[in-house]
Structure 1
Amino acid sequence: MQHIWSITGRSLAVSTLALALAACQSMRGPEPVAKSDIPSDYASQHNAGKSIAEQGYKDFFADQRLTQVIDLALNNNRDLRTAILNIQKAQAQYRITQNNRLPTLDGTGSFTRQNNQFQFGEYKPISIYSATVGITSYELDFWGRLKSLKDAALDNYLGLQSTRDATQISLISQVSEAWLSYSYANASLKLAEDTLRTQLDAYKLNKKRFDVGIDSEVPLRQAQISVETARADVGNYKTQVAQARNALNLLVGQPVSESLLPKETVTKISNETVFATGLSSDLLYNRPDIQQSAYALSAAGANIGAAKAQLFPTISLTSTAGYGSTDLSSLFRSGSFVWSFAPSLNLPIFDWGTRKANIKISKVEQEIALSTYEKTIQTAFKEVSDALATRENLDERLQAQRALVKATNRTYDLSSARYRAGIDGYLTVLNSQKDAYAAEQSLLALQLIALNNQIELYKTLGGGVKAYTADQTYHQQSSLEKHYQK
């Protein structure tokens, strides 16, 4: 009879476990529909061909020195390293929640010495030996609570992967812009040094004219003011060069070799001549920050399922099987086998509305995640539109600025000639020189804006996840996407 009950008990346990695994269902409710309220296309004129975000950064950027600097940054930048470590942490947490759905098998051995046998008028100590293997508090996931927690952990893990991709895109953009800033800080320094040399020559000429009595002291002091102003600019731009290099070193995570720094002014940053944006809907797949918000929204839905499951009874199983004996030598002999099977039921009756409040909190968190997701889409669309708006008139602005530089330089040459001929005073030369210098500075700034705009457009479209264009990227489904595929 004991043998029959043993078989029946084991069969009941196995049947109950199979039923639990088959019956557990996610209780996540209907998912909200995102309404980002964005136009179906970009307002600015653009080429709607294949998005430049599809290109790897090593194919997009023209200078191999820059791509080498980017590679160094991807290997050494501390922010990116932290993002990778967070992914590893989330991966371990997901593994834990996944394992929580499986029974845990523990083995124990014990020895007990106690006084509980009264014989011949006195208590005599006895020894009890045991060795058992058992399942401790395994929850039958009838209502999908553990499954929902596992889904939320998966979404959080995938979200951190997207955060890591977004960090990489931002880092590539920052490194490229810092590399360009170093180049143009040097260009501005060279312009200031050339201007200083010109002003020193003018000062020497005015001093000679003053010494021989041709001019008064006023032109001499005006020339001296220009010299000191140019000298101050040289010092300022030297500081900017050092700061630009320091910023680049910080982003890279180590000092950047001189061989990887631009020696001349960079005039071309990308191999592209046509900066296509693709369809506006491509942003949903190319931008990792949008993907991260989508994973967060999916995790919020899974948390609702876990909260709802708390309203229903929790069934747990505890079972052990092993041997017990008062004699160590007979511990594993026939007749020493013992087993126990102890299911338990936790039935929620009255908790002052705590479980329902948790459901409400989960729903509010889902609404927050939805709002964040919609705002992320709107922000991404706005950033692309801003980059396109800047780019739309850049060619015209550059053309006008180059013409202005040419005109101011010609004016400066003419005014200098008239001054030497004694037709005009030195104030005319001074004003024309200031205009020419300012025009040159503005041209450098506008050229830097144009190159940075190409980087910005690449970044805002989601470019930079891949190293080479031929590399493949795969979208990993959230728990919500998997839920609707069933």
Structure 2
Amino acid sequence: MRLRNSLVLIPAVALGACVAGPAPEIATPVPTLPGAFFYVPATTESAALEALLPSSDPAFVALSDQALSDSPTLGEALARVEAARAGAARAGAERLPSVGADASVTGTRTNPNQFGNSLPPGISIDTERTSYAANLTARWDPDLFGVLKASERAALARIDAASAGAQAVRLALISEIAASVIDWRTLSSRREALEQDVAAATRLADLARQREEAGIAPGFDRVRAQATASQSRSRMAALASEEARLIGRLVTLTARDAAWVAAALETPAPDRFDTTAPAALPSLLLANRPDVARAEAELAASDAELAAAARKRFPRLTLSAALGLLAFDLGELFDSDSVVGSAGGSLLAPLLDFGRIQAEIDGAAAEKQAAFARYRGAVFAALGDAETAYGLVAAADAEAAAAADEFAQLQRAAALADTRYRAGLADFLTVLEARRAADASGERAAASLGRAQRARVLLWQALGGDVQPTSRSISQ
């Protein structure tokens, strides 16, 4: 009997093997990167990557800690990690047996007329019957050809992708907060420079007024000096709109109110940092950039999903068993005669599905090709970001140095013009023009220094930043 049953299963297995085959091969080579960045600084000095951030600024420390502990964006990303973990746990559980229990009470009523009048004499039909049953059932898919294993591998790769996504959110949060704090400090420096401009223009206006009252200078000189002071006040007032924009952005990033953010920004500013850009190799991007890691994990997940789709062409074996009690009187439920049971197995193989499985395989193969294209795109986007950041650091440093030199020279020229005017060797227009040039250069020098520091934050982000987990660890 067993032999006959086995012979019945052989054609199904053979036909299933005819349609089965390996997953299509899709090449996914690691993109070739250059040996060095084009704009990398030609220096032998080594600098730590974290030194590119304003870590000594108490405002940055307070705001970044708050964002990492309570940011809605990061909270959403961490929740996605937990969802991916749950999916992986479910995929792993599918490979284990499923055991269940049930109990039932069933009442039936039969119409005796359905049997007609052909019953032997003395035999009657019980038209009402109640059955009592309790069962313990088990079901298991041995996963002979690895469909469930491949699905679990895909789910585990999704965890890596979600974790890298959370790390990318963390990186963006820190970068935006660092840039915002630098912008705030830059606005403060520009305000200080404009206040000095107003003070210098006011002194010129007072001198022109004194000379006007003494009858040795026209009133037009005083008016022009006052106009210069008013121009500096106007530029200073315009800074308030930029400050409001920064506070609003930090409210969004930290999930705290504007008063708390403003209080954090009012902490004393440290000395401006000026760190040498660290030299790095392009290969660092493959290991350090979370967006590249996420794309790589998604590629691994698509590869596993393709394998799972291809293995659906193989036969699938399912084992099942049940052990229970069945009685038609509640008092007899636990008698030995009430014990019932069953055990069996089923083998399901695709014979003629009119291309359904092949279409699923083709779709999974296309998804893998798309995932590989996204991975290559992420790698070269990272390379482009790093090249841009290195170039910005070099250009911003040159601009800041030139602006500082310009400011020093124009301040000296303004002082000389003032001295010559007081000695009667220069007219007031010369002094006023020198003062205007010096005033504008002070604000430009402060702004250019801020851009140089901001470029360092962009470089920190482009190189992948600090990949240590947050206090709300993504590895929990």
**Does the TM-score normalized on the shorter chain lie above 0.5?**
yes
Q: List per-residue Cα deviations over 1:142-193 (Å, max 9, x = no partner).
A: 2222112111111111111011112112211211111111111111112222
**Pair 1:52-2:48 in alignment:** yes
**Pair 1:88-2:82 in alignment:** yes
Q: 1:67 maps to which residue?
A: 61
2:330 aligned partner, one-letter code: L
Q: 2:328 maps to which residue?
A: 326
Provide the C-alpha distance between the structure 2 equivalents of 1:441 and 1:26, rounded to a whole number of angstroms: 70
Provide the C-alpha distance between the structure 2 equivalents of 1:52 and 1:157, rounded to a whole number of angstroms: 30
State whether residues 201 and 435 of structure 2, in contact with CA within 8 Å, keep that contact through their aligned partners in structure 1: no
Provide the C-alpha distance between the structure 2 equivalents of 1:122 and 1:144, rounded to a whole number of angstroms: 53
Q: 2:37 maps to which residue?
A: 42
State whether residues 400 and 448 of structure 2, in contact with CA within 8 Å, keep that contact through their aligned partners in structure 1: yes
Query: What is the CA distance between 1:75 and its match in structure 2?
Result: 0.3
**Pair 1:98-2:92 in alignment:** yes
Distance 1:362 1:259, change over 3 A: closer
State whether residues 117 and 125 of structure 1, in contact with CA within 8 Å, keep that contact through their aligned partners in structure 2: no
Provide the C-alpha distance between the structure 2 equivalents of 1:399 and 1:156, rounded to a whole number of angstroms: 47
State whether residues 150 and 308 of structure 2, in contact with CA within 8 Å, keep that contact through their aligned partners in structure 1: yes
Distance 1:277 1:165, change over 3 A: farther
State whether residues 52 and 458 of structure 1, in contact with CA within 8 Å, keep that contact through their aligned partners in structure 2: no
Q: 1:188 maps to which residue?
A: 190
The equivalent position to 2:169 in structure 1, one of 167, 170, 175, is 167
SS in 2 for 1:340: strand
Q: 2:456 maps to which residue?
A: 454
State whether residues 21 and 310 of structure 2, in contact with CA within 8 Å, keep that contact through their aligned partners in structure 1: no
What TM-score results when the alignment is normalised by the length of structure 2?
A: 0.83
The equivalent position to 1:32 in structure 2, one of 27, 30, 46, is 27
Q: Which residues in structure 2 correspond to 1:90-169 (within 5 Å)?
A: 90-116=84-110, 118=112, 124-136=127-139, 138-169=140-171
| Corresponding pairs, count | 445
1:52 aligned partner, one-letter code: A
Task: Tell me whether 175-184 or 305-314 shows the greater mean CA deviation.
Answer: 305-314
2:36 aligned partner, one-letter code: D
Q: List per-residue Cα deviations over 1:3-28 (Å, max 9, x = no partner).
A: xx9xx9xxx9xxxxxxxxxxxx9955
Distance 1:48 1:214, change over 3 A: closer
SS in 2 for 1:335: helix
SS in 2 for 1:146: helix
Distance 1:56 1:407, change over 3 A: closer
SS in 2 for 1:312: coil
Structure 1: stretches of 5+ with no match in the other structure: 13-24, 476-486
Distance 1:338 1:175, change over 3 A: same
SS in 2 for 1:111: strand
Provide the C-alpha distance between the structure 2 equivalents of 1:432 and 1:265, rounded to a whole number of angstroms: 32
Query: What is the CA distance between 1:395 and its match in structure 2?
Result: 4.6
Provide the C-alpha distance between the structure 2 equivalents of 1:186 and 1:418, rounded to a whole number of angstroms: 33
Distance 1:42 1:173, change over 3 A: same
Provide the C-alpha distance between the structure 1 equivalents of 2:99 and 2:83, rounded to a whole number of angstroms: 25
1:390 aligned partner, one-letter code: L
State whether residues 148 and 305 of structure 1, in contact with CA within 8 Å, keep that contact through their aligned partners in structure 2: yes
Q: Whose Rg is larger?
A: 2
Q: List per-residue Cα deviations over 1:269-318 (Å, max 9, x = no partner).
A: 7xxx5543343222211112111111011011111112112223333333
Question: Among the aligned pairs, what percent are the same residue?
Answer: 22
Query: What is the CA distance between 1:259 and its match in structure 2?
Result: 5.7
Q: 2:10 maps to which residue?
A: none
The equivalent position to 2:72 in structure 1, one of 78, 85, 92, is 78
Q: 2:319 maps to which residue?
A: 317
Q: 1:258 maps to which residue?
A: 263
1:335 aligned partner, one-letter code: D
Provide the C-alpha distance between the structure 1 equivalents of 2:202 and 2:291, rounded to a whole number of angstroms: 54
Query: What is the CA distance between 1:346 and its match in structure 2?
Result: 3.3
Provide the C-alpha distance between the structure 2 equivalents of 1:174 and 1:361, rounded to a whole number of angstroms: 39
2:134 aligned partner, one-letter code: A
State whether residues 202 and 223 of structure 1, in contact with CA within 8 Å, keep that contact through their aligned partners in structure 2: yes
Distance 1:425 1:210, change over 3 A: same
Task: Tell me whether 152-161 or 120-129 shows the greater mean CA deviation.
Answer: 120-129
Query: What is the CA distance between 1:56 and its match in structure 2?
Result: 9.4
State whether residues 27 and 306 of structure 1, in contact with CA within 8 Å, keep that contact through their aligned partners in structure 2: no
State whether residues 56 and 270 of structure 2, in contact with CA within 8 Å, keep that contact through their aligned partners in structure 1: no
Provide the C-alpha distance between the structure 2 equivalents of 1:439 and 1:409, rounded to a whole number of angstroms: 9
Q: List per-residue Cα deviations over 1:39-75 (Å, max 9, x = no partner).
A: 122123445888834x6999x8334553343222210
Q: 2:13 maps to which residue?
A: none
SS in 1 for 2:409: helix
Distance 1:29 1:68, change over 3 A: farther
Query: What is the CA distance between 1:405 and its match in structure 2?
Result: 0.7
What TM-score results when the alignment is normalised by the length of structure 1?
A: 0.82
**Pair 1:237-2:239 in alignment:** yes
Distance 1:57 1:211, change over 3 A: closer
State whether residues 132 and 320 of structure 1, in contact with CA within 8 Å, keep that contact through their aligned partners in structure 2: yes
Q: 1:431 maps to which residue?
A: 433
Distance 1:347 1:396, change over 3 A: closer
